Every structure is written in C-alpha cells, then in structure tokens.
Amino acid sequence: MEQIAVDWLTPLQSRDLIPEGSLAAFVVGSAARGWHNDRSDFDIYIISSSEWETATASTIPMPLNPPRICSETFFHADRRWEVTYWLDSQIDQMLAKVSRDEYDREVVAREVLTPREELALSRIQNCLPVFGEEWILSARKELADSAFRSFVVARSLSGADDSVEDALGQLESGDLESATLSARRALGFAVDALLEGHGEYGSQSPKWRPNRFRAASPSLLSFEEYWALETMRDYDMTAPENWIREVLTICQEISMRVETE
C-alpha cells in the first residue's frame, strides 16, 4: 500500500498540486476499483481546508459555500490526470443535505443532490487512499450513517415507476417504439435502485453498471438475466411487446422488493 501511495503521490508533488495542510487525497473512479483501461483518465480528489487558486485551475460551479470547486489537469506517462479540490466543509454540506432529518422531512429525493455532488459522495466509499486514511474512514462512517442510500434508492425507484407508467401507456396506445425506449429507461432506473440497495452507488456513470452489478451480485436477478435484458437479446422486432412486458415485470418486481430504508 505504501508503494501504491507513492506512485500516485509523486506526480502530484512534482507539480506542486498538493495544498499545504491537505487533509486527504484519494483516487476515485475506475482506477480506484481496478476497472480502468489503457485509455482511462486518472481522477484524484484532494480534501483541504482552504480553496485552491492557481492560474491553471478550472472552476466548476457548485450549489455549495463557496459555490465552486477547482480542478487541475495534466498528462503523465501518456495518460490524462484530473485533480479535483474539495473543501472539507463542502463535504460536510453535502452530507447535511442527505441527513436522516432531511429524509424524514420527505424532501423530494431527485432534487437533493446535483449529479456531481452525488457522484462525489458515492466515490468516497470505494476510493483508493493516497494519504489521510483517518479522514477517509471518518467520511465513510458519516456517509453510512446518513440517509444517502435511502435518497438515491428512492430517486431511482421513482424514475423507474415513472418510466414504467410511460411504457404502459405507450404500449396500450400501440406506440411500440416509444414503449421500447421507455422500458429501457425503466430498466436502467430499476437496476440502479437494486444496486444502490446493495451499496453499489454510481448511477451517474451508467457505463460501469455491469461492473457494479457483478460487485453487488444481487440474489433477485442474476448477471446473465440482467445482461440479456440490458442488451435486448430476446427483443423481437415483429413482436416487441413481449420484451417490453418482460422488462416492465422485472422492473415492478424490483420496485416491490428493494427497500429505501
């Protein structure tokens, strides 16, 4: 682990990209989980107590205080690296948005976090520490104690239910092409809810859904069954309603079985 940390740390130190007094740094995204390939970017989060400001930094607006985060990009060993700087207080603000108290107030789940906020919190769970393991462990505990899981599951189930209703209406009216697209959308939401129920977050990056599915290994649906639906293996253009109904049945079963609490 020490050598791994050095391998990640050295390119950052050589470019003076680590703020003085930083609390933690960790690899996120595909590289943190061993899912990366030769064309993947490397993404690193750095947590500090003061804002990062340089002439080369890019600014990303956020609904937080301060209302932005900064990032630096560079190339090392023919690979693009992106370093994103978060304030410790910004992480606290995002966790406050998904507190148990907020969930008990029945806040609309899909409006709680922006996609970037949700992705940031979800990545804490499966990050690869570079330094600051104490901060990371504390953040993981706060995330586990929050209502984050409940919020994202509720959001995905809501999306699945809406898409199922769309597909049923389109199916009844004979609009089979639209019903097919709505069924595919419903499947994505439903499977995300299933995986989030197992603690496999990251629905903002659907390209990794198969990897997340294998990691979660839910008993409700095998990978082979899921992949047959995802790839529309049994879709018959002469009778698309059969595949549509099968998908909607699976989505409704997932909605009944996955719990938000």
Which SS3 state, helix, strand or coil, does residue 45 take?
Answer: strand
> Higher model confidence: residue 106 or residue 202?
202
DSSP result, 60-123: EE-SSSSSEEEEEEEEETTEEEEEEEEEHHHHHHHHHHT-HHHHHTT--GGGSS-HHHHHHHHH
**Helix, strand, coil share (%) of the chain residues, nearest 5:** 55, 15, 30
Q: What is the band of 231 on the pLDDT scale with cuts at 50, 70, 90?
A: very high
Beta strands of the chain (E only): which ranges?
24-28, 42-48, 58-61, 68-76, 79-87, 128-131
Distance CA 166, CA 160 (A): 10
Distances (CA, A) of 115 to 59, 62, 94, 122, 204: 17, 10, 12, 10, 6
Q: What is the pTM of this model?
A: 0.93
pLDDT digits (tens, 9 = 90+) for 19-55: 999 999 999 999 999 999 999 999 999 999 999 999 9
For the chain, domains (ranges, CATH) are 2-146 (3.30.460.10), 149-257 (1.20.120)
pLDDT at residue 64, rounded to an integer: 97
- Please check the confidence at residue 134 and state whether its pLDDT lies above 70: yes
Expressed in angstroms, the distance from the first to the final Cα of the chain is 35
pLDDT digits (tens, 9 = 90+) for 241-260: 999 999 999 999 999 999 88
